[in-house]
Each structure stands twice: as structure tokens, then as C-alpha cells.
Structure 1
């Protein structure tokens, strides 16, 4: 995957970013016989958060020809999510859900996971250039990218179409001034990895643990068991709540972990395996997910919040949908990128948004911890939590705002715990 000749810069599709969306898009395009060039600013493997996948994404990894490689990597198996608050606990098994399809997936160290994906794409014939930065774009029916390598040499890439899969780098939204308000409050996260050293029966390692702070329901924690006795742990809150000096981050995260009973019992004193990191202002949106000669994939277009681990699923869904739309266009069909790509992709994003918003108001937490849950409704909620946010046979996808509000009203009639 080294730098290819600068004379080979006429390509069917140029992809900015080698993360999951870019890698899967590249593999799917290669399966369709298209020439692909992936431009990645960083070098892989590199650290990334977003370590808990959702089962819905497995279908796209399988279609992209990556599943065997990932199975053989030995990642931590995942079959659901466990929510805890004070003395309450509610677990969802993603195999028991309304929507047919995969009910299991993995919890992964993203450095290894992302590296495997882009290597799979390269093995299928995608050209990959690491350490190359896109500086400018000329949009249109034949877009042109201005690129600089690590030695400062500039060159042009001529493509029939461009996918921006740059994630939080958001290359085209910045270059083309596409940013739009998210409507979500500014939140941030402190996070690290720990050597948990837990006995086998201490917790269900097959599920992500999402814990709510006992006094503040808008503050929550993740604990993601990984392979080899390692766990990812983090806290998400209003940005001001976690705004401390870099030198104080470790103490702040440690104090918060000890304030949550379940995490304190499991990993309260477990040593951090890397410096405590901070990420903030990650929620993002754009006016549109496409333009003349380009489309935005995954986090380059919109990112909501990490609470339901939807980021990679939305990224892979966007890659799949964008490739299918582009294939029709490159085959000579007239396509409507707004109707064929933007609108259907945002349907699932809006489903997740309804769940995220009600998580932070506490309404979804009332639903999750409600003691007399109806099995059928529970399977519908489980399907969304498993990533099936586009299945409109599920009432909580077809009309998530009204359905969740009505469900919350029904739960609170009987006085949910506060």
C-alpha cells in the first residue's frame, strides 16, 4: 500500500480517508470493477475510538469480502448491551430483536480493525496512499483533487467521482463550507484503556456496559470489554463538566469512575494503559450529503453521539448506499442523489437522533429501566440498538419520535424510578 506513481492519477473514484467507510466503499467499488484511489492523511495502524460495533454493520463487512479476515483476528464477541443506573440493570440481547439479520458482532481495538479493513480493500485492488493530504477540490462532473504528500510534493487527482470518508477530519465540509448546526448540545468525553483483570463471571464481556452517573442522568460511562483482558472506558458529559487541564484528566476520569458503583466495582482501581484522552465538539452536521461530483460518507457528513455506538454502522451503511447509487450513475443511469442517497441515509440517522435526544432527557432511560416491559416492544427497541435503524417495519423506526414519546408516557403512568 505504498505511494503509487503520480502518473496514475486518473481514476474512477477517489476516496478521502481509509477508515471503515472508505475501506468498505473501496472494496465494494472494486467488486464492481471500478478503479479506486484512497488518500489517507495518517499512517495505519492508528488509534481511534468507536470500539463497539453494531450487528447491522456485519452484512456490509460480509458483502465487502472482509468477514473471514475479521473472524480470524480474534476480536471480542459482542451480543448486546447492558445498561446500569444505581441499583438498576437492564440488558438487551441483540439476537432477540424485531428485525431479521445479524444479532452478533465484535468489540474491537480500532487500530487493528481499521488496518485490517483497508488491507482487505487493497488486496482487492484498491490503490492506497498513506501520508497524503487533500488540500483542495474542484467539484463538477469531473472533479479534481489537489493533494500533497509528506515530502511536500503536490499533484492532482482526476476522478469521475469523489467520496469523502475522512471521518472527524471532515475534509470536504471544511473545504466547501458545508457545515450546518447539529441541534445537539456540545458534549465531550474523557477515555482510556484499562487492564481490567476481571474474573470470568464478574461481568458479561459479550456486552458493552453503559452506566449512568448516580446523580446526573446526563452523564454516562462506557465500558467496552476487549480481547485479552483489556477494556475501553470513558465518560461523556456536557463539555464544561469535563473541561479540566490535560494534567488533571486522569484524576478526573478516575474520580468519576469511582462515583459509579458498577464501574467502581469492576475497574475502579484498574491501571490506565495509555494517557487519558479528551475529545470534544464531535457532533456535526452538513446542509447536504452530496454535491456535484462528490458524496459524504459516515462521520464526514453527520455524527450524533457515541452513546449507542452508531458511528461505524452509519459509516458502513452510507458506504453501501453511496456505492449502489454511484454504480447506477457510472453505468449511465440518471440518479437523484438527494432522493436515492441523502433521504434514505438520514432516515436511520434520524431514528438514532430520536433515541439519543431522549437518552439525555432521561426519557429513554425511563423506558429502558421500566420493570414491566412488553416483549414485543422490547424486541423493537433491541433492533434499533442493534443498528437496524432503517427497518420501517419497526414502528420505532417508522415514527420514532411519536412512538418513543407515547411509550414514555405509558411507562410514567406507573411511576418509573428516578
Structure 2
């Protein structure tokens, strides 16, 4: 079998893999990426957070993204039973970019992958990993490309395979998620929105009028199309129809404000569904490997944290790898896993509280305490690693206190 050797091999050419590859290649290391699909390809996770802009800037990809014509995103809007509120990312606690983009992932991911290749990363599309042997000295991957078998060998492997979760499956790293099994049903539409209350510069999160653990996303794109999806308990959504189309149609009809916004929408793409997507692993790094983004832990679509966590993991891994490949000692738990988990735990606290209904009460609470809203806005903007923010430094304690205030006034 043909052997392909590099310093680092990355599994997956999505945002985590492309950014990690570019960062590592810029530091002078040889990087190969193995991707099972051909780009462009459909994916969800389309509403970025301002924190992502930092990662794109560090990977020298901001210029191409800014020139791609994606929809500007300057905040998030929420609606429930006629109550409306919004958060402007310009009015946040943390320093950093105030805007981001809402992107069709097929186009976005292709741009990032192409830019990584321009910076020296080699991507092997349509290659499927069949076996992995990873230890402290090297990583060896047995890969199929059509009828051909190849061996990829490197000093280290990063798994950025997303929901494919290649190394967690092959190395038996999976452990049960803390979250219950939820389902997401979604599609893209020609939205034809003429609702004067709708702001195309924001993601719209709508809460089901009666079932507060069911919610909807509406993510507008710059070309008059939008991503629409519903998320909820798998069993609850099953009552809304047998097919994904029925579930999505009936769930939207049960939320009058959203149905009004989408009254002229043209449904011209298949409706898809995924469930049981929340995941966790026994460890994020080990001898010869590290897990990036969704390949490690995925929480939930609410707050659009997935791509943000993926990009942050890429930055941390690239820094650790440069040290290790240069002959320095790296403590992957202290320098990669722990700092990454710090931000994940912040998001996790707010995700749990959202489904319990408590954080929803906070979102829709009309307060004069502007500084608190700015701190919450920073979380919604993805700044979950800014420990100058009290809601990052002590998320559970601070959120509990805020929930108590909102429920008592």
C-alpha cells in the first residue's frame, strides 16, 4: 500500500480541520487532511458567533470570508407567546468583534478548505478511514479511496470529523452525554419574508407557545433564503407527524408568530432530521491524538456554540502541537483539554438552564440592569473563555442568582 507521511494528519476538512490545518502549516509543519466527502456539501450549524472571527483572523481567513457575500449577523432575537427581545452584540461586556456572519455551510466550509490548501495544507477528498493505530510515537491510519488502500502516517493525529466521530468510535472513547435524546428537523427555504418585525441581521429563536423545551431557529441568508429548524424531545416531535416534512410543517403552524413570518416561504428542499446528536468522550486528548469540535463533545444547537467550540479547539491544539513537534513537553490535559472544557462548561450551564426554562425567563425578563444584560450578551456572542465576565468565571452560581432575581420581581 502507498504510504503518505506528514507531521500531522487531520481527519475532516470542516471548519475545525481547515483552521487547525492552516494554523499548523503556517508554523512550518507538513499537514495532510483526510476528508470522506467531496466539497461543497450540505451541513448545518450556519449561525456563527463573533468569537469565531478571532479564529478566522488568526488563520488568515478573514479577508476571504468578508468578501464572500455572507449575511451579516449583529445579534440574536428571541420570541415567545408575543414577547420579543433581542441582544445586540455591539452592546456586550467582553472585548472583541461585534459582528459575525450567517453562512450556508456548503459554501463557507469550501472557502475555508480551499484557503487552507492555499496556505499549504493537502486535502484528500473522498477518503474513508477504516482503521487507526495511535500511540506516543506515531499515528497510522488505514484509508480507502475507491478500490485503493493507503496508509497515512504522522507524528500526531487531530480528529475534526464532526458527527462522524472517527477516533471516538475506533478508539472506544465515547461515553453517554448528560443531555436527553433530542431531535432536530430542518431544511432551507426561499423565505420571502416581508414581516417588518423581522431583522435579517439576527438569528431568530422562537420558543413553542406551550412546550418550552421545543424551540425553532430561523437563520436568514443574504440571497433571500433561510435555514429553518425545530428542536425538541424526540417523542414530543413524533406526535407532530410521521415524516420530517409533516413534523416541520405542523410544528411551525403551532407557533403562530413564526408561521406568520414564514407565510410566504417556498419549501423547495428535502427536510432532514437528526437525533441523539449530543455527545461526550472519556478524554479529549491522549498519546498521539486530540479531538476537535464535535468529534469531542457536542452540546446542543441552541446558542450556536458548535462551530465556536470547534474553532477554539483548533487554536488550542495548533499551539500545543507546535510546542510538541518542536521538542518541548506539552501537558495536553492542562494546555488543551482543561481550557477547552472551561468554555464548554459555560455553554453547558446555559444550555441546561434553557431547557429547564430558567434561562428563558432571564432572556425575556425586562431589566434595567444593563451591565448584566451586557454580560449575558457576551455569552451569546461566544465569549465563553473571557473570565473577566462573572458569568464565565462562575457560571452556575451567577446564573442561579440571576434566575432568582428574575423570578422574584
Give distance in 1, aligned partners of 2:367 and 2:24: 47
Shift of 1:228: 1.0
Shift of 1:247: 6.2
2:169 equivalent in structure 1: 174
* Cα drift, residue 202 of structure 1: 4.6
Q: Per the alignment, in what secondary structure is the counterpart of residue 359 of structure 1? A: helix
Report the alpha carbon displacement of residue 181 of structure 1 after superposing the two structures with TM: 1.7
Distance 2:9 2:199 in 1: 42
Corresponding position: 1:41 with 2:36:
yes
Give 5+ residue unaligned stretches, structure 1.
none
CA RMSD of aligned residues (A): 1.5
How big is the shift at 1:147?
A: 2.9
Which aligned pairs between 1:72-221 and structure 2 lie closer than 5 A? Answer: 72-199=67-194, 201-221=196-216
Scaled by the length of structure 1, what TM-score is found? 0.95
Deviations 1:1-26 (A, max 9, x none): xxxx945x110000000000000000
Contact 1:189–1:242 under 8 Å retained in 2 = no
What's the CA shift for 1:352? Answer: 0.2
Corresponding residue number in structure 2 for 1:316 = 311
Aligned residue among 381, 404, 407 for 1:409: 404
**What is aligned with 1:51?**
46
Counterparts in 2 of 1:245 and 1:261: CA distance versus 1, 3 Å: closer
In structure 2, the CA distance between the partners of 1:187 and 1:60, relative to structure 1 (3 Å rule), is same
Q: Write the mapping of 1:263-302 to structure 2, written as runs, cut at 5 A.
A: 263-302=258-297
How many residues align structurally? 409
CA drift of 1:30 comes to 1.0
Partners of 2:398 and 2:351 lie apart in 1 by: 14
Aligned partner of residue 74 in structure 1, secondary structure: coil
Query: Does the CA-based 8 Å contact 1:79-1:104 persist in structure 2?
Result: yes
Q: Which moved more, 1:249-258 or 1:49-58?
A: 249-258
Distance 2:86 2:367 in 1: 14
Deviations 1:154-196 (A, max 9, x none): 1211101100000000000000000012111110111011111
Q: Compare 118-127 and 262-271 and name the one that shifted more.
A: 262-271
- Determine the C-alpha separation between the residues in 2 that align with 1:354 and 1:144: 35
Q: How does 1:206-355 map to 2 (within 5 A)?
A: 206-243=201-238, 248-355=243-350
SS in 1 for 2:243: helix
